[in-house]
Structure 1
Amino acid sequence: MTDKNAFASSWVESIAGFTAGVVSTVCLHPLDLIKTRLQVDRLSSRIGGSVRVVREIYQNEGGITAFYRGLTPNILGNSTSWGLYFLCYSNIKDIMHKFGNPGRDNLTSSDYFIASGTAGMLTAVFTNPIWVIKTRMLSTGSRTPGAYASFTSGALQIFRSEGVAGFYRGLLPALFGVSHGALQFMAYEQLKLYRSKKTFSTVSSTAADAEKMSRTLSNIDFLVISSLSKIFAGCITYPYQLLRARLQTYDAAVLYRGATDAIRQIWRKEGLSGFYKGLGPNLLRVLPSTWVTFLVYENTKIYLPKLAANLG
Structure 2
Amino acid sequence: MARRALAVVALSSPLPKRCYQGRIAFQSHKRLATVAKPPNDLFRPIFEIWRNFVSVLFRARIHLLSGAVARGVSVFVMYPVDTIKTRLQLETRRGVESYWSVLRKMLSKPRNLYWGVASTLIGQVPYGMLTFGSYEIYKNWLANWFRSSSRLRIVLAAIMGDLTGSLWLCPSEVVKSRLQAGQYANTWDAVGKIFLSQGLKGFYQGYIGQIARDIPFRAIQLLSYEELRWRYRQWKKVSSVEDLSNVENLLVGLVAGSFTAAVTTPLDVLKTRLMTQPMSTGGRWAAWNCARQLFQQEGLPAFWKGLGPRVFYIGPSGAIFFVVYEGMKKILCTRRF
Structure 2 SS opposite 1:286 = helix
Identity, in percent, stands at 26
* Correspondence 1:88-237 to 2 at 5 A: 88-97=134-143, 99-101=144-146, 104=147, 108-140=150-182, 147-177=183-213, 178-200=215-237, 213-237=240-264
The unaligned stretches of length 5 or more in structure 2 are: 1-7, 13-28, 30-54
Whether the 8 Å contact between 2:255 and 2:315 is mirrored in structure 1 is no
Whether the 8 Å contact between 1:6 and 1:94 is mirrored in structure 2 is no
Query: Equivalents in 2 of 1:50, 1:270: separation in Å?
Result: 15
1:87-130 superposed Cα distances (whole Å, 9 cap, x missing partner): 11011012123x325xx3x7511110010011112212221111
Q: Which residue of 2 aligns with 1:208?
A: none
Counterpart residue identity of residue 224, structure 2: A
Structure 2 SS opposite 1:148 = coil
* Correspondence 1:11-26 to 2 at 5 A: 11-26=61-76
Query: Equivalents in 2 of 1:214, 1:12: separation in Å?
Result: 17
Whether the 8 Å contact between 1:169 and 1:247 is mirrored in structure 2 is yes
Whether the 8 Å contact between 2:123 and 2:168 is mirrored in structure 1 is no
Query: Equivalents in 2 of 1:223, 1:49: separation in Å?
Result: 34
Q: State the shift of 1:51 in Å.
A: 3.2
Query: Equivalents in 2 of 1:124, 1:24: separation in Å?
Result: 18
Which structure has the higher relative contact order (CA within 8 Å, separation 6+)? 1
Query: Equivalents in 1 of 2:241, 2:301: separation in Å?
Result: 39
1:48-67 superposed Cα distances (whole Å, 9 cap, x missing partner): 544321211344xxx22121
The unaligned stretches of length 5 or more in structure 1 are: 141-146, 203-212
Q: State the shift of 1:151 in Å.
A: 2.1
| 1:242 aligned residue (251, 264, 269) | 269
Query: Equivalents in 1 of 2:105, 2:269: separation in Å?
Result: 21
Q: State the shift of 1:236 in Å.
A: 2.3
Q: More displaced, 129-138 or 150-159?
A: 150-159
1:228-258 superposed Cα distances (whole Å, 9 cap, x missing partner): 2223322322111111110111535348861
Whether the 8 Å contact between 1:36 and 1:278 is mirrored in structure 2 is yes
Counterpart residue identity of residue 121, structure 2: I
| 1:268 aligned residue (276, 286, 296) | 296
Whether the 8 Å contact between 1:136 and 1:250 is mirrored in structure 2 is no
Query: Equivalents in 2 of 1:72, 1:201: separation in Å?
Result: 41
1:142-163 superposed Cα distances (whole Å, 9 cap, x missing partner): xxxxx33332332221111111
Q: More displaced, 129-138 or 63-72?
A: 63-72
RMSD of the alignment, in Å? 2.2
Tell me the TM-score normalised to structure 1 length: 0.84
Q: State the shift of 1:137 in Å.
A: 0.4
Q: More displaced, 44-53 or 284-293?
A: 44-53
Q: State the shift of 1:77 in Å.
A: 2.2
Structure 1 SS opposite 2:69 = helix
| 2:311 aligned residue (273, 279, 283) | 283
